[in-house]
Structure 1
Amino acid sequence: MTEMSNTPSRPSALREFWYYFRENRGAVIGLWVFGAFLIVAALAPYIAPHDPTMQYRGNILQPPVWQEGGSWQFPLGTDPLGRDMLSRLIVGARFSFFVGIVVVSIASAGGIIIGLLAGFAPQWLDTIIMRLMDIILAFPSLLLALVLVVVLGPSLTNAMIAIAIVLQPHYVRLTRASVMSERQKDYVTSARVAGAGLMRLMFITVLPNCLAPIIVQAALSFSTAILDAAALGFLGMGAQPPTPEWGTMLAEAREFILRAWWVVTFPGVAILITVLAINLMGDGLRDALDPKLKRS
């Protein structure tokens, strides 16, 4: 009769990830806040009490409900054109998250491919690619994005393209560094000796082992994309009125900051909370995915 082994089984990767992630209380709070905003963005058309572009001319600059003159019809007040602030903030969350998802997807996809090519390319091609990335990184990111939007034309789509181009070099450098570290290891040599082709080495053998730092970079880039889109919108180069994007809402309301504090405060607080939650979550991802930071 054989005896069953008493050796404890190794926890699953997801359980191990959650164990280290939840040790960072700020990251857990950021995850819950991010999840709440994500739900609001997904359900925006159903939970917004008013059409975000509808103008109620008889309720221009109406204060929030807790201030004298406020009304439950517009709990967070109205903007200079009589549009409901709460509805515009809710729908604006959808635009901000859409910007983050599209920008991170484009920047990470392009950056990973170029980084893999640089990591496996001959020395001369690797040098050319990395010098081009250094040139892009030499410019202030927001200034370069602003120049690209001016060339392409002011719109939310062009703003997303510009921000993705600006963020892409970070993924290229990070992917290349990870590839250069991984390609020297024994499992890559074994795969090469076994006859694995270049594409298989790049995307099947090496890339999965480079994903941890890329995931952390993606989380942090998400908040950067939202901030840059809001900045471009504030400068009139991103989403165009009457689109209820948070940066555009700030731009439209800046001249009323002394008369109606709520038209500037609420979009600014929405941007602040969203970016802070994503950054806290990114710190938790770094702690959970970086083996050097895990405590035994």
Structure 2
Amino acid sequence: MAELSAIPPKTEDRPSALREFWYYFSENRGAVMGLWVFAAFVFCAAFAPLLAPYDPTEQFREHILQPPAWQEGGSWAFPLGTDPLGRDMLSRLIMGSRYSFFVGIVVVCVAVTGGVIIGLLSGFAPKWIDTMIMRVMDIILSFPSLLLALVLVAILGPSLTNAMIAIAIVFQPHYVRLTRASVLSERQKDYVTSARVAGASKARLMFKTVLPNCLAPIIVQAALSFSTAILDAAALGFLGMGAQPPTPEWGTMLAEAREFILRAWWVVTFPGLAILVTVLAINLMGDGLRDALDPKLKRS
């Protein structure tokens, strides 16, 4: 009997949080495919100077509007052809991924940080302060996002930096409303009441107790906003209000090539495809994150 009592009872190992997350995420095949495409673009952005065969601003005047290598008149020296100034399209697309992902990261970080802080303050603030903050957010949301971004860039001046600031300001109300709604839901629960009775300060309640339980919808919204930021930055660049030539940003590349769309299809098609594939991959990833992080969607 003593030997039997010395044997510890078998306990079912609980999967780690990361393994559980990957289990639910991998059930969405589109999300996994989007993750691999996104990882490929991140790799290109991180090692762009090494992967690009030429300097993206270098002009080869003897090869202006040269078609892709597989077309008649093309050359494998320029696999995706050249643009109206003789610059290598492949090099500009690879370097453009760096600018696009930089825009997405900066915009999402600024918008999430500001939106979460304001949303937390609004959720814990007195009624009149909460109402005032939300009315300001409603006013910002009443404007079309791209139109408001255009107005802000027109005030600040056309540049990639000002475009990122404008897009971040436009995105911020979404995070304020999302965070406030989550805070109002969580602050009524028992664990928050227990922490308040135990003497936790207002700051600790906001950032240590409530915020970690509000992160799931914020992460999903951040993933979807990343793709929207890339799309809006490309739109501003196309309208001449974002990155300025000769910056190899995908929207700016489309703007420079639009008059050659009938003569040289590749100068418009490849930047457009880069935007399309990147945004689609990130949106598919966002769907997978929603499935993995939302407990209501998890199947037992």
TM-score (norm 2): 0.98
- Superposed CA deviations along residues 243-269 of structure 1, whole A, max 9, x for unmatched, are 000000000000000000000000000
- Superposed CA deviations along residues 14-33 of structure 1, whole A, max 9, x for unmatched, are 01000000000000000000
Deviation, structure 1 residue 222: 0.1
Please give the alpha-carbon distance, in whole angstroms, between the structure 2 residues aligned to 1:170 and 1:7: 44
Deviation, structure 1 residue 197: 0.3
Equivalent residue number for residue 132 of structure 1: 136
Equivalent residue number for residue 21 of structure 2: 17
Amino acid at match of 1:148: L
Deviation, structure 1 residue 213: 0.3
- Superposed CA deviations along residues 102-139 of structure 1, whole A, max 9, x for unmatched, are 00000000000000000000000000000100010000
Deviation, structure 1 residue 5: 2.4
| 1:261 lines up with 2:259 in the alignment | no
Tell me the SS of whatever aligns to 1:49.
coil
Equivalent residue number for residue 116 of structure 2: 112
Tell me the SS of whatever aligns to 1:201.
helix
| 1:32 lines up with 2:58 in the alignment | no
The 5 A counterparts of 1:91-102 are 91-102=95-106
The 5 A counterparts of 1:1-296 are 1-296=5-300
- Superposed CA deviations along residues 31-78 of structure 1, whole A, max 9, x for unmatched, are 000000000000000110000000111000000000000001100000
Please give the alpha-carbon distance, in whole angstroms, between the structure 2 residues aligned to 1:175 and 1:234: 33
Please give the alpha-carbon distance, in whole angstroms, between the structure 2 residues aligned to 1:14 and 1:135: 39
Tell me the SS of whatever aligns to 1:31.
helix
Tell me the SS of whatever aligns to 1:87.
helix
Deviation, structure 1 residue 10: 1.4
Amino acid at match of 1:215: I
Residue ranges of structure 1 left out of the alignment (5+ in a row): none
Deviation, structure 1 residue 7: 3.0
Please give the alpha-carbon distance, in whole angstroms, between the structure 2 residues aligned to 1:2 and 1:232: 70
Please give the alpha-carbon distance, in whole angstroms, between the structure 1 residues aligned to 2:233 and 2:7: 62
Deviation, structure 1 residue 2: 3.4
Please give the alpha-carbon distance, in whole angstroms, between the structure 1 residues aligned to 2:152 and 2:35: 33
Aligned length: 296
The percentage of counterpart residues that share the same residue type is 84
Tell me the SS of whatever aligns to 1:264.
helix
Deviation, structure 1 residue 4: 2.3
Deviation, structure 1 residue 97: 0.1
| Structure 1: 4+ residue segments shifted above 6 A | none
Please give the alpha-carbon distance, in whole angstroms, between the structure 1 residues aligned to 2:21 and 2:295: 11
Please give the alpha-carbon distance, in whole angstroms, between the structure 2 residues aligned to 1:44 and 1:140: 34
TM-score (norm 1): 0.99
Q: CA RMSD in A?
A: 0.6
Please give the alpha-carbon distance, in whole angstroms, between the structure 2 residues aligned to 1:3 and 1:294: 35
Please give the alpha-carbon distance, in whole angstroms, between the structure 1 residues aligned to 2:34 and 2:139: 34
Residue ranges of structure 2 left out of the alignment (5+ in a row): none
- Superposed CA deviations along residues 148-206 of structure 1, whole A, max 9, x for unmatched, are 00000000000000000000000000000000000001111111111110110000011
Please give the alpha-carbon distance, in whole angstroms, between the structure 2 residues aligned to 1:219 and 1:2: 50
Tell me the SS of whatever aligns to 2:6.
coil
